[in-house]
Structure 1
Amino acid sequence: MSIRKITCLAGQRKSLGFALTVLLAILYSMMVARPVLAASSVTTPNFARIDAFITAGMQEKRIPGVQVAIIQNDHVVHLKGFGQANDEGMKVTPQTPFMIASSSKPITALAIMQLVEAGKVQLDAPVQRYLPWWRLSDPVQSSRVTIANLLDHTSGISGSLGGKDWLSDPSKRNWSLEDGVRSFHSSSFVHAVGTTFEYSNANYETLGLIVQTISGEEFGTYVKQHIFSPLHMNHSTLSLKEAQQEGLQQGYTWYFGFPRSTQNLYLPALGPAGMVISTAEDLSHLLVAQMNGGRYEGTSILSPQGIARMYAGNPHASFGPEGAALDLKGNYGLGWFNGSIAGVPAIYHLGTIVNYASLLVMEPQHHLGAVILMNVNEASLPTQEPIMYMQNNLTRLLAGSEPYTAPGLNVQSFYLYADSTLFVWAIYLLWSAGRLRRWSSMFGQRLQSALSRKRSLLLASLRVTWEVGLALLLLLGIPIVLGGISWLDLPGMFPDLGWALLLLSLLTLLIGIVRAVLLLRAARNNASASSSTVTLSLRRR
């Protein structure tokens, strides 16, 4: 019998339900919690080697700052910061606030599980039990979405909803959590509920609003009181103002291969899905609790059975392999991926935002865990190579495996090809623009020759078609390839290649249009001259 069926039965027959719940907890602790969390072999990581790898990787990949924490059993055994937090040379420490992006989701899932254990929320209950007004465009599908569907991303909601669509409108950047969730009402489902995994921020924004509604507290306040404070996560917050007071700096984004500090992107409505700001030290406390049945220094934030339930992946929420650089596969549980990273069995979550990246990882077979935070992101790089190079290999080093480089383009090769292509394209456009007047004159002369007229018209038409067609293909096609991101959003997300592609595409289109106008004018002038010549010839006769 499935977990959802047992939970439903518990709701209908309370006495039998209580007994089944106790039995379920015992079975989970025996069948899930023990194999996942018990150490088959305890390995002491080579901290010197890990530090040397991080230092070398930062230099090779041009990563400004990194902080790392390593957990073994129920202790933090290694804690260190590397590099700089800002352009003034401020040193990164394990207490430096970094944005952790989607690694916020396990914290939101933990908050929901606390309410489940308090009897205030049921995993198999429909979302509309707690938010009666909640819906997407299909009312029937909306009524079927459960809390569990939101937690394991099987709600059928699009992955583009709940963040990407807010970037182009400045007014939406200050939306409250409820504003954001209410905006989903006109969006369509992309899958039948409960059938397909599609990772979506909208799921966790809705969960955060449920926490806020049921608890009667702002989501950030609830998390602070019920998770951050008990775990002594003293530098963690969902408040941008508080984080700046704690020392949050602007993160970095690569511009043509070189890191440059950029304005942090903070959207209050995205909070439960990706706006937690924390440190390696604080997140190490979270992993201690996650690895030890919900306990940290004698304080319990969730039962061992609740922790085990979070790790149990849904077969319908399977993913991967996600490509050479990502090298991820497995299932999604309740706020955690359960599968492997770079061939190493792991329970983990990753997070990336415009200028920060994070990884929380637990290796149950060794009873080891790690936090790695970076103050840079490579939104322009489709392979996510630098970030995944660091995350994959830290995971492998923890397991005692050798680091490796995934096949495919690395950041240096990517930018070498990209920058070279853009440079040649820009030179060609400048050369073409500078020669337009001369081209027009020469084209007009060729039209006067009956022998070269047809050939000249054909070649000129093909050139115009190529320039206009290429520009339109890029201007219309790139947003489609990138999942519907508009050109208004693109330069903000890809500040180097985004602006370069936009400007060069527009310049190509402009040159093509000007060339078409010159072609038509020359053809018309030639036709007029030919007509005048014929008329004059007839008069002489």
Structure 2
Amino acid sequence: MTTIIRFISGTVLTILLLATTSCSSDDDETFIQPDPTGIQTQEDLSAYLEEVIETQEIAGFAVSIAQGNTIDYKTSFGFENIETQRAFNNQTVINIASLSKSFVGAATAKAIEQGYFTLDTPINGLLPIEIVNLENPDAVIRVRHLVTHTSGIVDDQSTYLQANYFVLLNQDMSTTGANILTSPLGLEVMNPVPLEEYLAEYFLEDGELYGNSNFIDVEPGETWAYSNVATSLMGFVIESATEEDFASYVATHILSPLQMNNSTFNVTEVNQEGWAIPYLDKNTPLPFYGNHGYPEGSIYTTNDDLANYLLDMTKGIKGQSNTLFGTAFYELLFTPQLDAGIVPDGFAENHGLYWYKKGNSWVHSGNSLGVSSHMEIKTDGSSGFFVIANMDATFSDNTPIWEAVLQLIKEGVQEYLHNN
């Protein structure tokens, strides 16, 4: 009998506490919602999306659409920095949060193609340490369980934020946004620690975060529980099997072949001059930050670069790309891996390698402090699109605001695709 664990959305566990600042709009003016009806041309779509940026509580965003075998649309709106009025553009760098997990999926497919392991390989045969589920010590965790969130490894909500997130050095810590991250959220100002060191705190007996709260008493493969820590562990599985730093492995085998030359998993490589400011709301910028467990949510990319990834995924689904790996491994990325009923009803129907199947689309989203993202690809590869935005949806007050903005953008994109 299968069971379901409550879904926690995005890279960051939804923050239920109230911050010391308001997350409301600048004013109480009521706007007429943009109407997507009749969007036919790129100019129509851009005009509609300009209305979205003007009427909604969002700093900036970028949209790309793949249709056929080309990027049909790629445009940015609003500001990457409201204070300096620096426009959000197609070269603006932004963290795409949990959409990064799809790159862990691609890296997994690549490592499988290279013969390092299979989906059925037990992870303890690949790691330098033994992972034991303290709630079910006999459980055998395999690669497929990590990439489908069914491993029995879970995020401890009481420690996840403070243990994983950190504020970068040399940030202005006198701002309201900085104060929110350091108190009440408890983030430290520091450099990133190595992935192995971060995970050791969870999985070694002398680790500060080691304990039963990192696990649930289930059989691997039978219970779906969204897990950032398990995804970080998958990055380390790849790192251990290939004997190559995970960020470097992705750069070599995924980013470079796609000519994503301004993208990285390494936060220390990001040029802050072109980095989109993350916003709690339009009045509250946040300092730049990173994740020690970076594979789960820390690709830094641009609209230009991510469009290359989107296009390759749409081609790969159709069997028309071998840029990253052979046709069989694109197929593997988007093959349902779970029995019916394991993924929660209303969230998705099934799971590929991190990708979720919803209706006739494969989907992944991401939400982190001050940033949000969403990508959809039709199951037949006929089209796909994504949105990346410097808008928060992790604080509970902001979640419905982002969902409303995303819905407006999706309606515009879908109307455009319907008419072209």
Tell whether the structures are fold-level matches, with TM greater than 0.5: yes
2:256 to 202, 205, 229: 229
C-alpha distance after superposition, 1:67-104 (max 9, x if no partner): 11111122111111111111201111111101100000
Question: 393-402 vs 272-281, which deviates more?
Answer: 393-402
2:222 to 175, 192, 195: 195
Residue 308 of structure 1 pairs with residue 304 of structure 2:
no
CA shift, 1:363, in A, is 2.3
Say whether the 8 Å CA contact 1:124–1:147 is kept in structure 2: yes
Whole-Å Cα distance in 1 between the matches of residues 191 and 225 of structure 2?
24
Residue 289 of structure 2: aligned partner: 265
Residue 164 of structure 1: aligned partner: 161
Identity fraction in percent:
21
Residue 239 of structure 2: aligned partner: 212
Residue 183 of structure 1 pairs with residue 222 of structure 2:
no
Q: Please tell me the residue identity of whatever aligns with 2:147.
A: L
Q: Please tell me the residue identity of whatever aligns with 2:107.
A: A
Whole-Å Cα distance in 2 between the matches of residues 114 and 142 of structure 1?
29
Q: Indicate how the Cα distance of structure 1 residues 125 and 70 shifts in structure 2: closer, same or farther if over 3 A, else same.
A: same
Q: What are the equivalent positions in structure 2 for 1:75-474 lying under 5 Å apart?
A: 75-86=70-81, 87-138=83-134, 141=137, 143-160=139-156, 163-166=160-163, 167=165, 168=186, 170=188, 174-185=192-203, 186-188=210-212, 189-192=215-218, 193-244=220-271, 247-254=274-281, 258-267=282-291, 269-293=292-316, 300-313=323-336, 314-315=338-339, 317-321=342-346, 328-340=347-359, 345-364=360-379, 367-382=382-397, 384-400=399-415
Q: Please tell me the residue identity of whatever aligns with 2:356.
A: F
1:68 to 63, 68, 72: 63
Q: Going by fraction, where is helix more abundant, 1 or 2?
A: 1
CA shift, 1:222, in A, is 0.9
Say whether the 8 Å CA contact 2:60–2:77 is kept in structure 1: yes
C-alpha RMSD over aligned residues: 2.8
TM-score (norm 2): 0.75
Q: Please tell me the residue identity of whatever aligns with 2:333.
A: M
Whole-Å Cα distance in 1 between the matches of residues 321 and 150 of structure 2?
35
Q: Indicate how the Cα distance of structure 1 residues 367 and 54 shifts in structure 2: closer, same or farther if over 3 A, else same.
A: same
Say whether the 8 Å CA contact 2:66–2:314 is kept in structure 1: no
SS at match of 1:84: strand
Whole-Å Cα distance in 2 between the matches of residues 102 and 115 of structure 1?
21
Q: Indicate how the Cα distance of structure 1 residues 401 and 136 shifts in structure 2: closer, same or farther if over 3 A, else same.
A: farther
Say whether the 8 Å CA contact 1:97–1:247 is kept in structure 2: yes
Say whether the 8 Å CA contact 1:63–1:259 is kept in structure 2: no
Whole-Å Cα distance in 1 between the matches of residues 110 and 192 of structure 2?
28
Whole-Å Cα distance in 2 between the matches of residues 50 and 148 of structure 1?
40
Say whether the 8 Å CA contact 2:319–2:327 is kept in structure 1: no
CA shift, 1:374, in A, is 0.4
CA shift, 1:295, in A, is 9.4
Say whether the 8 Å CA contact 2:366–2:374 is kept in structure 1: yes
Say whether the 8 Å CA contact 2:61–2:388 is kept in structure 1: yes
SS at match of 2:75: strand
For structure 2, the 5+ residue unaligned runs are 1-38, 166-185, 204-209
Q: Indicate how the Cα distance of structure 1 residues 71 and 356 shifts in structure 2: closer, same or farther if over 3 A, else same.
A: same
CA shift, 1:62, in A, is 1.9
For structure 1, the 5+ residue unaligned runs are 1-43, 322-327, 404-541
Q: Indicate how the Cα distance of structure 1 residues 147 and 91 shifts in structure 2: closer, same or farther if over 3 A, else same.
A: same
Greater RCO, 1 or 2 (C-alpha within 8 Å, sep 6+): 2
CA shift, 1:252, in A, is 0.9
Say whether the 8 Å CA contact 2:317–2:379 is kept in structure 1: no
Say whether the 8 Å CA contact 1:137–1:187 is kept in structure 2: no
TM-score (norm 1): 0.59
CA shift, 1:196, in A, is 0.9
Say whether the 8 Å CA contact 1:288–1:296 is kept in structure 2: no
Whole-Å Cα distance in 1 between the matches of residues 261 and 319 of structure 2?
14
SS at match of 1:174: coil
Q: Indicate how the Cα distance of structure 1 residues 232 and 306 shifts in structure 2: closer, same or farther if over 3 A, else same.
A: same
CA shift, 1:139, in A, is 8.2
